[in-house]
Structures are given as C-alpha cells and as structure tokens.
Amino acid sequence: EAGVAQSPRYKIIEKRQSVAFWCNPISGHATLYWYQQILGQGPKLLIQFQNNGVVDDSQLPKDRFSAERLKGVDSTLKIQPAKLEDSAVYLCASSPRLAGSGSEQFFGPGTRLTVL
C-alpha cells in the first residue's frame, strides 16, 4: 500500500513570496490533515478535511494560509505571502475512518520550507 505522498520535499523562498504544497493521501482515506512542525516542537494542526469539507481550521492563519481538497482526494496548502516565521516542516496526514474514531493517522514525509 502506497503511503502519503507530498511534494516538494524542500522549498526555499524569500519572504513575501508565495508557495504551495501538495499532498496525496493513502487511497480511500476520508480524512486529511495538514500540520506545521517548527524545529524542536511537536506538530501543530492547521486544518482537517473530511472528504472535501473542512472539519476544523481554527488554527489556520487565514490571512495568509489557504487549503483546499476539491475532489476529496488530493489537497494543496498555500502560503501567500510567506513570513520568516513560516519556516517549518509541513506534514500531511490521512486516516482511514470517519472523524471521531480512534484511528491512527499516517504521515507523509513532509515539505521542509525555509523562508529567507
């Protein structure tokens, strides 16, 4: 079974530029998550999708971050414009069952973003 795929793996941009990350979850997984992990810290949830609907985006900085999962499969996370403090690893995860269950989340390899 293929795992969660993310691209690019690394991205370096200058502040005020825009950037987009892509995630392809495990086939059949209804729930998709985007996390931000700053060096030395645990992952912080940014947004959760159930199929193509948003379940929670309370920690997403909506003035600069946006995410979509139009067909309920792939997802993109965008930052526009980027700030220095956005430097982090952006992790995508998916889980097989509907929200509310105890199912584990499967993580992708992440995209390491450096903002100069």
Partner 1 sequence: GQNIDQPTEMTATEGAIVQINCTYQTSGFNGLFWYQQHAGEAPTFLSYNVLDGLEEKGRFSSFLSRSKGYSYLLLKELQMKDSASYLCAVKGPDAGNMLTFGGGTRLMVKP
Would you state the torsion angle of the CA atoms of residues 15, 69, 55, 61, taken in this order, to the nearest 10 degrees? 10
What's the distance, CA 50 to chain centroid? Answer: 14
C-beta of 36: minimal distance to partner 1 in Å? 11
C-beta of 64: minimal distance to partner 1 in Å? 22
Cα→Cα distances 36→6, 28, 46, 65, 91, Å? 14, 24, 7, 12, 6
Q: Which is nearer to partner 1, 5 or 20 (CB)?
A: 5
Q: Which is nearer to partner 1, 38 or 84 (CB)?
A: 38
- The two tokens of residue 92 are 């995508």
Sites of contact with partner 1 (CB under 8 A): 4, 31, 33, 40-45, 48, 50, 55-56, 91, 95, 97, 99-110
What's the distance, CA 62 to chain centroid? Answer: 14
DSSP state of 105: P
Q: Which is nearer to partner 1, 79 or 108 (CB)?
A: 108
Q: Which is nearer to partner 1, 18 or 27 (CB)?
A: 27
Give the integer Cα–Cα distance in Å for 77 and 92.
Answer: 10
C-beta of 11: minimal distance to partner 1 in Å? 15
C-beta of 80: minimal distance to partner 1 in Å? 25
